[in-house]
Amino acid sequence: MAREFTSVGVVGLGTMGAGIVEVFARNGIDVVAVEVSEAALDRGRANLTGSTDRAVARGKLAEADRDALLARVDFQVGLDALHSVDLVVEAVPERLDLKRRIFAELDRVCRPEAILATNTSSLSVTEVSVATGRPQQVVGIHFFNPAPVMKLVEVVRTVVTAADVVADVEALCARLGKVGVTIGDRAGFIANALLFGYLNHAVAMFESRYASREDIDAAMKLGGGLPMGPLALLDLIGLDTAYEILDTMYRRGGRDRRHAPVPLVRQMVTAGLLGRKSGQGFYTYEKPGSSKVVPDESTPQERPAAGDGARPVARVGVVGSGATAAGLVEVFAGAGYDVVQVAPGAEPLDGLAEVDLVVEAVAEDLGVKKELLASLDGVCKPGVVLATTTSSLPVIDIAMATGRPADVVGLHFSGPVPARPLVEIVQTIRTGEEATATARAVCATLGRTAVVCGDRAGFVVDALLLPYLNDAVKMLEAGYATVDDIDHAMKLGCGYPTGPFELLDAVGLDVALASQRALYRELRDPGFAPAPLLEHLVTAGYLGREAGRGFRDHTAR
């Protein structure tokens, strides 16, 4: 039988700590909420009352339930107030020396049988635990922000945490209505280890001026299906917090370059550009603490309705006979364009002689695409924009098969084409301004959001998404967590619509592997090398949902 926790203590009443207090009190547990001073205690009380008042205003909490919740909380200054609780959860800033001092004091104050827990998101639970004389009773209980809303709790056991302690905490998570995922003491645990590599990569993309902040964030929301763009999310988390988490994971996690903080992050922290909390980060906000973004010197200017130098397009040619080509025909025709579709090899290309834009959607094979573009060069009239829908091949290689590389762009529609609102416009170093402007204007007519990027492997979406998926495979391969636990962590802890393995099975493991290989060939960074497990599954024919088996067995569904 799991022990019954009747009273708990929470140390640190910032946004996270106050949220944890609310979670316990909402579920009928008495809470001793502790801060270091009266002023800090007042701020913590305000955090809690503000959160519960907002819940009442939104109809998520009845006034009587709010009053009962607040009545269960005993606000106190100093750790001595925790002498009789069953469990303490520490939620102070991510500084190992601070946490160790607190745990040493908790060891002195708390009853011998009390469980001591840390809400750390990146520090070693083991290093915290050895500051006490009871490391077997120390565990990580990592809530996600906002704690009352997010369903995931990572339960982190050390090599000496007692099995009954873990079982008691798992039962408590269930009582709180949370999904507990139990894992070992590894840098970043599950969610942060996967999330922050992706966020760090997005900063590197922005730092190199590969794409604008708006385009990076729009690409991942609209093309990746994520609830927030990476740069906006970093502003929400706080650049200082992100830097500490990345630096800790880099030092503790084998010095993986995916977690080495991009220099721009440190520079922004040094300059006080911490995100929403300071009023400025990657974006500028109405005031410190506000979520309202206001224009600044980096905000893009509205483009003229005429298309800013775009060539007129009335007729569109689509080359291809597969699902992508069919989707393109549907989208262009639905937007009022006259569309000519040609199936390569089965029909002559002469029907494209009078079109203003050609979009090819043939096999993802460089030789096939180059041969097609060379043929189009001899058929199409001057000034026609030639677009490739490639998702992984170098656009410049395709463009140079023609005598008009200035007229060649990439138009990567996120699939399925009719359903997804994003188009990545890929400029090569030879693409002319008129061709890019024409692509922008056409995308606007289609009702699509266009993001402009350079000709690099993966463009924006796949360059950020695929390494995250690859990292998840490496985590599974290392035996750190299961397929289900990793998917739960990213859906329930980060609000992602699908877990990484659900997504890989849907996309196709062979497709993901081919794109990851292209990224690795271009970047030559060991952190981007395809996970051996991914390669083995593809070799075995376990390609995902359509094949009946990938990371999960789909034959019985």
The answer to whether 481 touches 181, Cβ cutoff 8 Å, is yes
Residues 529, 520: contact at Cβ < 8 Å? yes
Annotated catalytic residue within 51, 119, 124, 192: 192
The β-bridge partners of 472 are none
Separation of alpha carbons 550 and 92, rounded Å: 41
- Residue 411: what are its φ and ψ, rounded to 5°? -125, 90
Q: How far apart are CA 196 and CA 471, in angstroms?
A: 11
Active-site position among 154, 244, 360, 502: 154
3-class DSSP state for residue 273? coil
142 a catalytic residue: yes
Tokens of 445: 């007519």
Q: Which two tokens stand for residue 285?
A: 């906000």
Those residues whose C-beta lies under 8 Å from the C-beta of residue 289, and which sit 6 or more positions away, are: 276, 277, 279
Q: Is 121 a catalytic residue?
A: yes
535 annotated active-site: no
Reply yes or no on whether 354 is catalytic.
no
Of 124, 129, 142, 259, the catalytic one is: 142
- State the Cα–Cα distance between residues 472 and 534, nearest whole angstrom: 10
Q: Exposed/middle/buried for 179, CB within 10 Å: 0-12, 13-18, 19+?
A: middle
b/e map of 76-86 (b: 16 or more CB within 10 Å)? eeebebbeebb
Q: Which residue has 């440190």 as its token pair?
A: 266
- Rounded CA-CA distance 243/228 in Å is 19
CA distance 266 to 246: 11
Q: Is the CB of residue 226 less than 8 Å from the CB of residue 284?
A: no
Q: Are 475 and 188 in contact (CB under 8 A)?
A: no
Which is the catalytic residue, given 51, 121, 278, 391?
A: 121
| Three-state secondary structure call for residue 420 | coil
**Rg, C-alpha atoms of the chain:** 27
For the beta sheet containing 357-360, the strands, ordered from the edge strand earlier in sequence to the opposite edge, are 338-342, 315-319, 357-360, 385-388, 408-413, 422-427, 449-454
Residues tagged active-site: 121, 142, 154, 192
